[in-house]
Amino acid sequence: MANSEKNKATVLNFHRVNHDDGGMDVDEFRRKMMFLKSHFNVISLPEMMQLITEKILPPLSVVITVDDGYEDSYSVITPILDELNIKGAFFITTIGIEQGLLWNDKIFNAIHRTSKTTIEGVLNRDQSIATKEQRKLAYQELHLAYKFMSLVEREESIAQLISILDVDVSDNVFLSKNKIAAIKSAGMTIGSHTHQHPILTMENDDDALQEIIKSQKILESITNNNIQYFAYPNGKFGRDFNNNHKEMLTTLGISCALATDWGCFTEDSDVLAIPRYTPWDKDIARFGIRLCHHFNKHKAQGHE
């Protein structure tokens, strides 16, 4: 085995399966998990952290992580992983437990459920949503704009959008407490993804800390375990989180935190900014080729 493949892991990042936004469907997810199980060493996140310290991480090690906490984590993803004896890690944005959806779902539902054909006065202009393609483009634009707002500004902007479009955006697409507990009972790892999914750099330090603490406490009450794992919303170091946030996690007993910067995890990596990567190819062969290329290309990434 080439040196580039030894004591190195790739952490793969997934979100929803079988959602109507054109993303990954159930068959694609299952085929990819079966492919990984056949050709790579699929290990759990806790196993990765243990084996890396012992310097005995198997070649071509892969870890499966799932962000946000939608209901399909329970009804679709966990059963497939369980069937293949894969132990994934699920990072949950806990406000969804209370509200049944997240901020981005409110935007999506507002645009796609309204009977209006124009969004008036949002982002300083009127925007037509008369066609399916226009609604898709409007969602993409508003999602990007609202993502990088502070929580207060984001909430106000979404409330304004809902009022303008005069629509009910309520939904029930998120995990319940019982389903989170069931995922944990299936041997999966549960981690925090903040309470309201803010870009941490857009909040002052006190508010950012409370976002992390609140999600951690909610999940600990559900699982009856300490929450030691964390995934940064959006997850780009320097833009979405920084060293202040890493220090917060250390004080709260978080042992590792996942970013979305590209790279492999090695013994030299920063355990509070572990890179994640997901090949986007739907074709399984291309998916595998790109993943192998990733192992060979990327070296350890750390943040000082």
The predicted model gives 164-184 an average pLDDT of 98
pLDDT at 213 over 70: yes
Of the two residues 303 and 286, the one the predictor is more confident about is 286
Phi-psi label, residue 135: left if phi above 0, alpha if psi -120 to 50, beta otherwise: alpha
The single-letter DSSP state of residue 247 is H
The predicted model gives 254-282 an average pLDDT of 94
pLDDT at 164 over 90: yes
Per residue in 48-71, pLDDT (tens digit) is 999 999 999 999 999 999 999 999
pLDDT at 273 over 80: yes
Per residue in 73-92, pLDDT (tens digit) is 999 999 999 999 999 999 99
Per residue in 105-122, pLDDT (tens digit) is 999 999 999 999 999 999
pLDDT at 244 over 70: yes
pLDDT at 301 over 80: no
Handedness of CA 5, 85, 97, 132 (dihedral sign): positive
Report the C-alpha gap between 69 and 92 in whole angstroms: 5
The amino acid occupying position 282 is: K
The predicted model gives 152-156 an average pLDDT of 98
Query: Over pLDDT 70: what percentage of the chain?
Result: 94
pLDDT at 225 over 90: yes
pLDDT at 290 over 50: yes
The predicted model gives 117-145 an average pLDDT of 96
Architecture per CATH, domain 3-97+174-297, reads as Alpha-Beta Barrel (3.20)
Measure the CA dihedral 15/17/22/27, to 10°. 140
pLDDT of res. 304? 38
pLDDT at 4 over 80: no
The pair phi, psi for residue 176, each rounded to 5°, is -90, 170
CB 111 within 8 A of CB 102: no
pLDDT of res. 303? 41
Mapped onto helix, strand or coil, the DSSP state of residue 244 is helix
Question: Quick one: tokens of 160?
Answer: 């304004």
pLDDT of res. 22? 60
Q: Characterize 270-300 residue by residue with b for buried, 16 or more Cβ atoms within 10 angstroms of its Cβ, and e for exposed.
A: bbbbbbbbbbeeeeeeebbeebbebbeebee
pLDDT, the chain, mean: 93
Residues 6+ apart with CB under 8 A from 156: none
* pTM score of the predicted model: 0.94
Query: Over pLDDT 90: what percentage of the chain?
Result: 89
pLDDT at 237 over 80: yes
Of the two residues 21 and 98, the one the predictor is more confident about is 98
Question: Quick one: tokens of 283?
Answer: 């074709």
